[in-house]
Structure 1
Amino acid sequence: MWNRIWLYVYFTWFHPMLKWVLRRATGKCELLRICCNSYTKTGHKTKDIENALKTSKLRTFQRMVVDDDLNISEAIKYTMSIKDISPKIYPEFSSTLKASLRQISGYSSLVRDIEALKKEKYSSANQSHEKSLQKLWDLMMPNTKLDQRITKQWGELGFQGDDPATDFRGMGILGLDNLVFFAENYNGEARQTMIHSQHPTLWYSYAIVGINLTSLVYDLLKDGLLREHFYYTITGEPAIYHFHRIYCQVFTEFDRFWFAEKPKSVMEFGSVRDKFEKKVVGLLMKNDNAILHNNYTGMS
């Protein structure tokens, strides 16, 4: 409660007053001061620029943070015009703001693209979907031939029924894409994780858990908790590839977490998953750089 009151007071009274004082003292607006300052990491600068845009009284600036189709060139021209920033006096302003807007706008574009994959339902009539599913099997079970499309063999990969198509309902094709990316790009780690999931007493359903973790990473993205991670680790716009990499890391870390927790049975999955999610969110919110560090070399 007190934290909310402080934030309200800060952004309603203190922050605007501070900006006014600094502008009078330096002759520079907040965005210009940020762009002219030297930062050890680009991510810090992008974060400060994003906060400046969010807290601006101008809705045009506020929309720049959430616009997934932002015209960056026009946004820079508008900013320099409305803030009366001379390109001759401050030649670095345009390129600096452009770099940060690419990251900010890129995040919104990524959310849009991931949403589209999530909404795309798996269809057995779609040959692209079917090929991806077959590819998952071939990558994870290279020494075992799939007898037919609908078969109990899918249970070996941790699907619930004879037809995996029914298991992708919640996350759509995004759930399958994540599983395939993990299997294709980090095959050793993916297959090792699957082997772990078949433990005689600490077992869990590999594919079903994988789809569930897609939901977790999707929520982190949609809630903005991955913004700063991408600001600090990627130059330019984050892409679906980067989302997949986060997923692979989260899956691997969950596998470690599951065995460290030693649940009595798979029925405790919900509580272990919730505990794991709190840990990940805590790392993203408490880490100075908001980065999920890789704990094994395969994903460095």
Structure 2
Amino acid sequence: MVAALLFVPSLPLLSPGALMAPLIQEERLQRLKHRMKIYFDASRPDHQDALRALWSATYPGQELHGLISEQWKEMGWQGRDPSTDFRGAGFISLENLLFFAKTFSTSFQRLLNKQGGKRATWEYPFAVAGVNITFMIMQMLDLDSSKPRTFVRAVFIQMLSENEWAFDLLYCVAFMVMDKQWLEKNATYMEFNDVLKSTRAQLERELLMNEVLRIEDMPSYGLLY
């Protein structure tokens, strides 16, 4: 008597890339969370170097007289010592500004110098606005929560697995959106928080669009060019 052969369907083999994707995503998420927890420390040489790098990228060829100087007010810090303005968002807000200055220098300079559009008499301070934008994005993504509470968070984490610099790119887009809305609303400094709220709402809408799979797919990404 011949035993009946039992057909066992073969399981599809996962490619090494598919197996590595969750690991890469988790590693990048943990690195980003770590970046968000670093406070700016004016005594750390690497933090001092980052500040100098920001100055050089913002004002090429213009000598910086010191890490505490009246010159910093030109960039839109509240006082002579920019380190006091990082308390809200930490070192990552400096990294974001530096990334923007180096990656999209033309757009960065346009916003810094308030070029284009009808400007308010009392404009938003550029650098401090940048710190606030970092903090807004951190709140919007809510990456520290144990479970995803919004689809935006889940969508962003997927984008992060595709591009480790997704947070920094989103920051650049957010800055451009904020400035555009500032002009459209004819806003003044006292309305900055309202503009920031509407900026967040627009970012959330764009991130949840079906066709947006990367930061570069966001409709407002084009504002950077």
The answer to whether the superposition gives a TM-score over 0.5 is yes
Q: Which has the higher helix share?
A: 1
Contact 2:93–2:131 (CA under 8 A) maintained in structure 1: yes
Q: Among 108, 132, 136, which residue is 1:216 paired with?
A: 136
Of 107, 115, 121 in structure 2, the residue corresponding to residue 201 of structure 1 is 121
Q: In the alignment, does 2:210 pair up with 1:288?
A: yes
Contact 1:171 1:214 in 2 (8 A): yes
| SS of alignment partner, residue 85 of structure 2 | helix
SS of alignment partner, residue 295 of structure 1:
helix
Q: Which residue of 2 aligns with 1:151?
A: 69
State the one-letter code of the partner of 1:255.
D
Q: Aligned-pair distance for 1:197?
A: 7.5
Contact 2:77 2:125 in 1 (8 A): yes
Q: Contact 1:122–1:129 at 8 Å: present in 2 too?
A: yes
Structure 1's 210 and 297: CA in aligned 2 closer, same or farther, altered over 3 A?
Answer: closer
Query: Cα deviations across residues 194-215 of structure 1 (Å, max 9, x unaligned)?
Result: 1118945262111111111111
Q: In the aligned structure 1, how far is the partner of 2:135 from the partner of 2:151?
A: 14
| Other-structure match for 2:99 | 181
Aligned residues: 204
Kindly tell me: are residues 185 and 218 of structure 1, through their superposed partners in 2, closer, same or farther at Cα, counting changes over 3 Å? same
Q: In the aligned structure 2, how far is the partner of 1:220 from the partner of 1:107?
A: 19
Q: Which runs of 5 or more structure 2 residues have no equivalent in the other structure?
A: 1-7, 144-149
Question: Which amino acid is the alignment partner of residue 289 of structure 1?
Answer: E
**Secondary structure in structure 1 of the residue aligned to 2:15:** helix
Q: Percent identity?
A: 25
Q: Do the aligned partners of residues 271 and 297 (structure 1) sit closer, same or farther apart at CA in structure 2, a change above 3 Å counting?
A: closer
Question: Please, what is the CA RMSD of the aligned residues?
Answer: 2.7
- From 90, 98, 109, the equivalent of 1:191 is 109
Q: Which residue in 2 is equivalent to 1:16? A: none
Show CA shifts across 1:70-125 (max 9, x none).
xxxxxxxxxxxxxxxx7x72334x239x62871x5544443322222222111121
Counterpart in the other structure of 2:3: none
Structure 1: gaps of 5 or more residues: 1-85
> Does the 8 Å CA contact 1:183/1:190 hold for their aligned counterparts?
yes
1:61-210 to structure 2, matched below 5 A, reads: 89-92=10-13, 94-95=14-15, 99=18, 102=21, 104-196=22-114, 199=119, 201=121, 203-210=123-130
Bigger RCO of structures 1 and 2 (CA < 8 A, at least 6 apart): 2
Structure whose alpha-carbon radius of gyration is higher: 1
